[in-house]
């Protein structure tokens, strides 16, 4: 059996949302534990450079992650290297956040910032050239491919919309789709087809990402699923949009979510499970950026502070939806 540790709030995940939430809960003098299975940073550690973080024209992903961690530690956040297996709400309203070592982190509030995971292609070269040509975020990395030839993999709304977006940077965008028609909405398809920079390669799947011998992507090996013909397409970028899974499996109860499984929250970032808050990429929202993650986290941390204050006083927090009900 593991040990039981008691905190005011437990934060699951140490990406931008988790670290920002820890900074704000620390500022509120809440005893905070941040549980992360690896090095703090989340997707920042998979991002070579950012040019959309306000105040920084360009900053390395790992460098920004280090700044986030150091800043939050200054306000007392405790970082624990642990893999969380489940978050369970007890009958007394407390939460048990359990790790794979059977340690229990007990708290009256939890902020889940476990993010999401882009679905990978699973082909040779994908991991080798991740951040060196292979990307899973057009808004994050598109600007690094100005006047270059790139490919987009996928046929849903995300792939079609992002391919169109990427044409503002790239000289040519090839959309690779395994079927002979898109699954994307009609309006997005029409917009893409009207774009002169786009060429769609139907009934085609990627087989391998290849490099230039200096660590950067230089091309992609493609196979036509109808003819089995194989070709190598010269391209310096590959954007993968074949799916994204929110990491919500650790929540050990039903919670309100959208059709894609993303967590629904109220305006304080509280989920349908009282005392459980969510921030960042696993939350249902329009876009998923570092800036939106830290915005969510700020709200969640302040929401937690108000929730705990009301709980301690034995009162009720005002329903953020203004329905006259209560959030506690």
Q: Are strands 49-50 and 59-60 parallel, antiparallel or unpaired?
A: antiparallel
The reply to whether 20 belongs to the active site is: no
For the chain, the straight-line distance linking the first and the last C-alpha, in angstroms and rounded, comes to 32
CA–CA gap between residue 28 and residue 139 (Å, rounded): 33
Bridge pairing between strands 204-211 and 78-81: unpaired
Query: Which burial class, exposed, middle or buried, applies to 57 when counting CB atoms under 10 A from its CB (0-12, 13-18, 19+)?
Result: exposed
Active-site option among 140, 164, 281, 296: 140
Contacts of 70 (CB under 8 A, 6+ apart): none
Could you give the CA distance from residue 303 to residue 297 in angstroms, rounded to a whole number? Answer: 9
Contact by Cβ (8 Å): 143, 173:
no
**Do residues 69 and 62 lie in contact, with contact meaning Cβ atoms separated by under 8 Å?**
no
* d(C-alpha 56, C-alpha 279), whole Å: 23
| 55 Cβ contact partners less than 8 Å away, ≥ 6 residues apart | none
Which of the residues 8, 52, 103, 137 is marked catalytic?
Answer: 137
How far, in Å, CA of 113 to CA of 111, rounded? 6
141 is catalytic: yes
| Active-site residue, from 141, 164, 281, 296 | 141
Pinpoint the alpha helices (H) of the chain: 16-27, 61-74, 138-141, 157-166, 186-193, 290-312
Residue reference for tokens 């696993």: 282
Residue 230's nearest CA partner among 210, 213, 206, 212 is 206
Q: How far apart are CA 103 and CA 40, in angstroms?
A: 20
51 is catalytic: no
CA 93 to chain CA mean position, Å: 28
Q: Which residues are catalytic?
A: 137, 140-141
């Amino acid at each position: 059996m593991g040990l039981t540790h008691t905190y005011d709030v437990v934060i699951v995940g140490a990406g931008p949302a988790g670290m920002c939430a820890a900074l704000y809960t620390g500022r509120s003098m809440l005893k905070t534990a941040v549980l992360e299975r690896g090095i703090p940073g989340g997707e920042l550690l998979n991002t070579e450079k950012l040019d959309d973080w306000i105040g920084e024209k360009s900053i390395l992903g790992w460098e920004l992650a280090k700044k986030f961690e150091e800043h939050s530690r200054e306000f007392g956040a405790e970082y624990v290297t642990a893999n969380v297996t489940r978050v369970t709400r007890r009958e007394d309203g407390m939460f048990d956040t359990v790790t794979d070592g059977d340690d229990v982190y007990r708290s009256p509030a939890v902020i889940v910032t476990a993010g999401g995971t882009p679905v990978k292609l699973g082909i040779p070269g994908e991991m080798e050239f991740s951040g060196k040509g292979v990307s899973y975020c057009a808004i994050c990395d598109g600007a690094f491919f100005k006047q270059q030839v790139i490919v987009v993999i996928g046929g849903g709304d995300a792939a079609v919309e992002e391919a169109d977006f990427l044409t503002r940077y790239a000289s040519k965008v090839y959309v690779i789709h395994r079927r002979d028609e898109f699954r994307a909405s009609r309006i997005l398809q029409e917009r893409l087809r009207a774009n002169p920079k786009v060429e769609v390669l139907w009934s085609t799947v990627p087989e391998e990402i290849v490099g230039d011998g200096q660590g950067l992507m230089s091309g992609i090996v493609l196979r036509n699923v109808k003819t089995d013909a194989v070709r190598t397409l010269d391209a310096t970028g590959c954007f993968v949009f074949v799916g994204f899974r929110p990491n919500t499996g650790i929540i050990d109860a039903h919670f309100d979510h959208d059709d894609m499984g993303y967590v629904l929250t109220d305006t304080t970032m509280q989920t349908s499970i009282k005392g459980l808050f969510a921030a960042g990429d696993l939350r249902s929202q329009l876009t998923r950026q570092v800036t939106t993650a830290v915005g969510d986290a700020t709200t969640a941390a302040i929401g937690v502070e108000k929730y705990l204050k009301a709980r301690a006083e034995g009162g009720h927090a005002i329903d953020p939806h203004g329905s006259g009900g209560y959030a506690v």
